[in-house]
């Protein structure tokens, strides 16, 4: 890719490759009907995120052959190395979509029934045999989110688990010490516990670690060379941006949270990736390359969460100011926020990351990349309201 203009500490590169010829589009959310991404708006979002406390922020838009790659700030506060869209980072709950794809592939192989009780596959694990696999993947199980207590205080909570290695069973038991939030299927209530159980299902049904299933079913087929499941290793391989946790006390110094086992998250949030890989993943998923059309349709059966957000099976939908809906997931893990979304046809995708967490302003601001990437200059707003509190349940 050729070098683009350098604007202050923002590097902007546009790679204009002729797009493949495509047939006519009838889907109103197809990328062919969208205005061009607003590069100026994207720059504004990244600049604001850095001003609000993120050491670095990046975004990449891939649009049917053309790419917009932008970055602002530093990847390392110590060395002052500039952040780049080539940097890898922890993607937090975007991992949930990967876990869902594995389970839906198993459903396509007739090895899993989404409407079967979890206890059919993991006997005695859960206290209610009415909780189904579908309930887990749509956050309607009612299982309490153990991270609410684990990270009630951001820095002490993180330091207590930074180097710890949990079993899946230990995490589930932490959840089961608390009452359930609702009856199975009665309401949406986001919980990392659901996707810890999803990881247990993957391992029980395949006889392999989740890492093996991610590798063989998603990473290798899509050639995602920047995406890794290294648990319980604490290192990010290759080139990466360091992540910084914002303490609860205003004005307290940022905490470098880069090195951690992420064992508290595992199949709910421990993957490492890059903007390019996440765009490739969501484009492939929404383009029908990872699961059958029937399973993709099930992923896209959404429950309304708030005015602009709905949740399907391991997949979020965001409704934008220009009338377009986009599909993907958000992620929050100590030191990093991520937005990764694509059009319904998968032809335009955007991934943005900021290298801080526990900072609600940055989380909300970063959502503005969706408006600039998909609505272009007609966007009515540069940011979206955050989906929930600025914690680890994104």
- The SS3 assignment for 155 reads helix
> If you ran DSSP here, which 8-state letter would residue 74 be given?
B
Can the peptide bond before residue 232 be classed as cis, meaning omega within 30 degrees of 0? yes
What are 83's two structure tokens? 């952040």
Q: Strand 316-319 relative to strand 325-333: parallel, antiparallel, unpaired?
A: antiparallel
**CA nearest to 73, candidates 53, 94, 102, 97:** 53
**CA nearest to 55, candidates 377, 354, 393:** 354
Judge contact between 145 and 193, C-beta under 8 A.
Answer: yes
What are 294's two structure tokens? 């029937």
Q: How many other β-carbons are positioned within 10 Å of the β-carbon of residue 315?
A: 26
Burial 159-190 (b: 16+ CB within 10 A, else e): eebbeeebebeebbebbbeeebbeebeeebbb
Judge contact between 329 and 305, C-beta under 8 A.
Answer: no
Tokens 């205005």 found at: 35
What are 259's two structure tokens? 């090195």
- The SS3 assignment for 194 reads helix
- The rounded distance, in Å, linking the Cα atoms of 390 and 40 is 26
Active-site residue set: 93
- 24: phi > 0 → left, psi -120 to 50 → alpha, else beta; which? beta
- The rounded distance, in Å, linking the Cα atoms of 289 and 99 is 16
DSSP string, 79-135: T-PBP-TT-BEE-GGGHHHHHHHHHHHHHHTTS--TTSBHHHHSTTSSS-TT-BHHH
């Amino acid at each position: 890719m050729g070098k683009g203009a350098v604007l202050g500490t923002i590097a902007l590169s546009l790679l204009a490759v002729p797009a493949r010829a495509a047939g006519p589009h009838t889907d109103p959310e197809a990328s062919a009907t969208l205005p061009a991404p607003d590069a100026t708006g994207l720059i504004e979002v990244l600049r604001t995120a850095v001003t609000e406390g993120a050491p670095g922020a990046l975004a990449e838009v891939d649009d049917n052959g053309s790419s917009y790659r932008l970055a602002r700030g530093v990847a390392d506060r110590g060395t002052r190395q500039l952040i780049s869209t080539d940097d890898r980072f922890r993607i937090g709950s975007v991992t949930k979509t990967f876990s869902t794809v594995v389970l839906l592939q198993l459903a396509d192989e007739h090895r899993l029934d989404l409407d079967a009780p979890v206890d059919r596959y993991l006997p005695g694990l859960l206290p209610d045999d009415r909780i189904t696999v579908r309930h887990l993947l749509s956050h309607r199980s009612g299982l309490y989110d153990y991270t609410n207590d684990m990270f009630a205080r951001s820095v002490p909570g993180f330091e207590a688990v930074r180097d710890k290695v949990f079993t899946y069973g230990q995490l589930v038991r932490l959840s089961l010490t608390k009452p359930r939030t609702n009856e199975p299927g009665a309401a949406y209530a986001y919980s990392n516990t659901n996707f810890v159980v999803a990881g247990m299902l993957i391992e029980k049904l395949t006889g392999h670690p989740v890492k093996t299933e991610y590798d063989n079913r998603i990473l290798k087929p899509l050639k995602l060379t920047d995406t890794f499941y290294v648990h319980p290793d604490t290192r990010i391989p290759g080139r990466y941006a360091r992540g910084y946790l914002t303490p609860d006390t205003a004005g307290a110094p940022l905490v470098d949270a880069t090195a951690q086992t992420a064992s508290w998250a595992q199949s709910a949030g421990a993957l490492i990736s890059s903007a390019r890989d996440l765009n490739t993943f969501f484009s492939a998923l929404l383009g029908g390359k990872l699961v059958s059309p029937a399973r993709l349709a099930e992923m896209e059966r959404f429950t309304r969460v708030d005015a602009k957000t709905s949740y399907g099976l391991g997949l979020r939908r965001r409704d934008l100011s220009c009338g377009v809906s986009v599909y993907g997931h958000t992620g929050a893990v100590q030191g990093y926020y991520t937005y990764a979304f694509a059009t319904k046809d998968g032809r335009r995708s955007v991934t943005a990351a900021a290298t801080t967490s526990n900072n609600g302003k940055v989380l909300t601001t970063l959502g503005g990349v969706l408006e600039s990437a998909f609505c272009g200059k007609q966007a009515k707003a540069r940011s979206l309201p955050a989906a929930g509190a600025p914690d680890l349940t994104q």
